[in-house]
Structure 1
Amino acid sequence: IRDPESMVTACRKQHCRRILLQLPDVHDSDDIWNAYAQLFAVTKSSDIELYALDGAPDMIDHATPLILKLDRLLGLMGIQKLPGVQLDIEPYLLDGFPEDNTIFDRYLDTIDRVKSALRGRAKLSVVIPFWFSSTIHRQRPLAFSVMDRVDEVAVMSYRTDADEVMAISDDILRYGALANVPVWLALETTSLLLERHVILKREYRTALADGVLDPVRRTLTLEPQKTMESPEQDHRMWFRIHHRTMVRPEKISFTGHTKQE
């Protein structure tokens, strides 16, 4: 933010239409906040939208600092319009997920609080994963409940094949068209590691067990359990490997792909 012209020049070279920039910390100096607020006029003169970005999983329980930051930014903007605010909360990263049925209620309440705090002075955009369209909360897809509250959504697709991106985003795109809520399809561009996924099934026969879950210590150990005690004498639960899959990074991230691809 100390060199906004260079930032805008770099964005122009990449044909950017929008910049998402993290909000300063609530304890940052007035100089930082003033410089941040002044960026909006600079980007507007270059026909680039600047959205304030923020979000963290624990925000569903601690939204007040964000509300204070938005109030401060709106105050610095004066009569100038704030293009938008984007939230990337990821509540499913909380320790209690998915057992805690209140997480999504608190998540939606937080979105409502932010929407109210903006007082119509800025658009509200929310980042959601593609699987929110198949996550049912209070008898309807969670993605639709989010879209009912916001001005737009950005869907994390984690795919590099165009047909796959469209397939997993289809329900959200259709609802967006119906509800007049714009949908951005977000593509992964960071370097990722090879992922190995293992599906486990409960196993009561020690000789066939490949791993053990200790719910008290919250640990999962994958190793033969032939020397284990019987389940009646132990609080641990046995599992066997049902299926293994590998997810190659080039399937979910565009890192290493050519511009043409």
Structure 2
Amino acid sequence: MVFSEDQNQTKKATWIWDVSKIEEDPEQAVSFLKEEKVNLVYIHIDFETFRPGPYRSFIQHASKEDIDVYALGGDPNWALIKNRDSLDHFVSIVHDYNNTVGEDQKFAGVHVDIEPYLLSQWKEDADNVINQWMMNTVHLIREAKEQDHLQVSGDFPFWIHEKKVPYKDQTLSEWMIEHYDSMTLMAYRNKSEGPNGIQSISKPIVNEASKEGKSVIVGVNVIDSAEGAHTTFHGDEPGTMNQELEVLEDAYKGNKGFGGTAIHDYSHWIDHAD
């Protein structure tokens, strides 16, 4: 990830979708993250079940280890203007929470996993969906920064540079890089090198970010995937993922567009590590 206050710090991030994994023993969770050199966590906010307690405890433990925590929310429908109320609700939960806790318990940012290409409307009229997605992105960033000046980041597919901003000679990835504080690229492959490896599919956007003076995190997957064994480290020998990520980091050494790596997701990663 990239932060305006420290653009040189390489990030190692993970997603926590299942909050129950950190509720019982937040200290143990933070211990694992520290051991794995994680310094950024995206932790899910569920509208229906949100309770401040588990987040306060986890973030407080994480802050002691210099681990930043972002509130994570995801819904393909957040790309559509008609669903902006739901997006606003997510941001308001984060603001309300931050207004009632101590400095060492606050979210440092919000992280969204929107993925509008999963909507049926994308097949029918992608340009229309992209336009709405862009407008909601501007709205999200404005709302998030209104009170807490939260960092705003998001997940994006590795092929987003192949899409153009409607009626403009600009890639959609360039536009997103310009607007978001940071991007996490879902470059879900289990080999760093090769024509369909992590480096190959992430390089176009890493290079775009470098030109913009920004950087992107390159994400990998440890969840069993129906998309094929080549898209995940699930089932690979222990240590394989770390070896491949080291190869990736070496390949990107000196490239300012590379902001670090991310592992999807914590629940499966900790099981995978056992």
TM-score (norm 1): 0.71
The answer for unaligned runs of 5 or more in structure 1 is 196-248
Aligned AA for 1:83? A
User: Contact 2:26/2:57 (CA < 8 Å) preserved in 1?
Assistant: no
Distance 1:34 1:110, change over 3 A: farther
Q: Which of 55, 59, 63 pairs up with 1:44?
A: 63
1:82 corresponds to 2:107: yes
Q: 1:250: how far off?
A: 2.7
1:108 corresponds to 2:138: no
Higher strand share: 1
Give the corresponding residue for 1:178: 211
Deviations 1:33-61 (A, max 9, x none): 24324432221101222121111111223
User: Contact 1:53/1:86 (CA < 8 Å) preserved in 2?
Assistant: yes
Q: Which of 181, 184, 205 pairs up with 1:154?
A: 184
How many Å separate the matches in 1 of 2:78 and 2:43?
18
1:92 corresponds to 2:117: yes
User: Contact 1:71/1:117 (CA < 8 Å) preserved in 2?
Assistant: no
Give the corresponding residue for 1:137: 165
Aligned residue for 1:191, secondary structure, equals coil
User: Contact 1:37/1:76 (CA < 8 Å) preserved in 2?
Assistant: no
Aligned AA for 1:159? R
Pairs aligned (count):
204
RMSD between aligned residues? 2.1
Aligned residue for 1:87, secondary structure, equals strand
Percent of matched pairs sharing the same residue: 20
Distance 1:65 1:121, change over 3 A: same
How many Å separate the matches in 2 of 1:79 and 1:253?
37
The answer for unaligned runs of 5 or more in structure 2 is 1-22, 244-274
Listed as ranges, the matches of 1:159-170 within 5 Å are 159-163=189-193, 164-170=197-203
Give the corresponding residue for 1:232: none
How many Å separate the matches in 1 of 2:73 and 2:225?
23
TM-score (norm 2): 0.68
Q: 1:78: how far off?
A: 5.9
Higher helix share: 2
Aligned AA for 1:90? E
User: Contact 1:34/1:76 (CA < 8 Å) preserved in 2?
Assistant: no
Deviations 1:182-221 (A, max 9, x none): 211101211123x5xxxxxxxxxxxxxxxxxxxxxxxxxx
Q: Which of 52, 56, 73 pairs up with 1:33?
A: 52
How many Å separate the matches in 2 of 1:114 and 1:91?
15
